[in-house]
Amino acid sequence: MSDPNGGHSTVIVAGAGSGIGLATTRRLLNDWPDVKIVAADLRIGELKDVQSEFGQDRIRFCESDITSAAGAAEVVETTVSWSGKLSGLVVCAGNSTNHSSLEMTPEQWREVLDCHLDGHFYMNQAFGRELVSQGHGGAIVNFSSVAHSFAWPRRLPYAVAKAGINALTRTLAIEWAEFGIRVNAVAPGYVNTPLVANAQAAGFLDPSLIDMHAMKRFSDPDEIASGVKFLLSDDASFITGEILTIDGGFSAKKIPWNKTK
């Protein structure tokens, strides 16, 4: 039988302040009764409600900028000083942009790459160093996207960053297997998050995108959280270096299809 806490004591969720990160935080707290969460984000407004619901003994905040090595190290140090042992990491901090590659400024390019690539690398590195120091294994779940495998006009740095996260995930999985550290990623499609809602409101998303999903809808954040929980858990003890696509058939449906024709 699986450990009722997924084999974990304390899990860091970086990017926990909204959307999928917030849903993941709630899912882990709700389903794993003894697990503690350190929620790292520069925006903790909605997380205060989570703390009120589950208590300060189960969730703490860390308002650090994980796009720097120092900020990522601070998250890990905060976790260790509060809980002692840590065993799980979820990195889902992210952003996007909407610019032509010909018009994009260096600042716009770096803003996305810093958030995704630097944030993922520094958090993975700080977490991995601590686990090796403590002498035990653990599990990491990074956040890729279906954008890693498609041409994504006006979203170039986002697509590039997600492809980079795949490479980071697979490489660290090989490097760190000897330490008992598993490294995987989830690759969501379109999810009903504030980021997607804002893009829809601004007219950046084609309404026909719904029909490009075999299941004819976008996913809910909690559905992505289910995949994250599985990859973190000891049920996935022999899975590492994998990118789990959760997109309702979006990436599988390459051509239009009507079952009546």
Query: Which amino acids are annotated catalytic?
Result: 158
Taken in order 39, 83, 27, 49, the sign of the CA dihedral is negative
Cα distance between residue 193 and residue 214, in whole Å: 20
Q: Are 54 and 27 in contact (CB under 8 A)?
A: no
Cα distance between residue 64 and residue 67, in whole Å: 9
Q: Are 172 and 126 in contact (CB under 8 A)?
A: no
- 3-class DSSP assignment, residue 152: coil
Cα distance between residue 7 and residue 180, in whole Å: 13
Determine what percent of the chain falls in helix, strand and coil, rounding each to the nearest 5: 45, 15, 40
For residue 19, give the nearest of 238, 236, 219 by alpha carbon.
219
Cα distance between residue 114 and residue 104, in whole Å: 15
Q: Are 141 and 185 in contact (CB under 8 A)?
A: yes
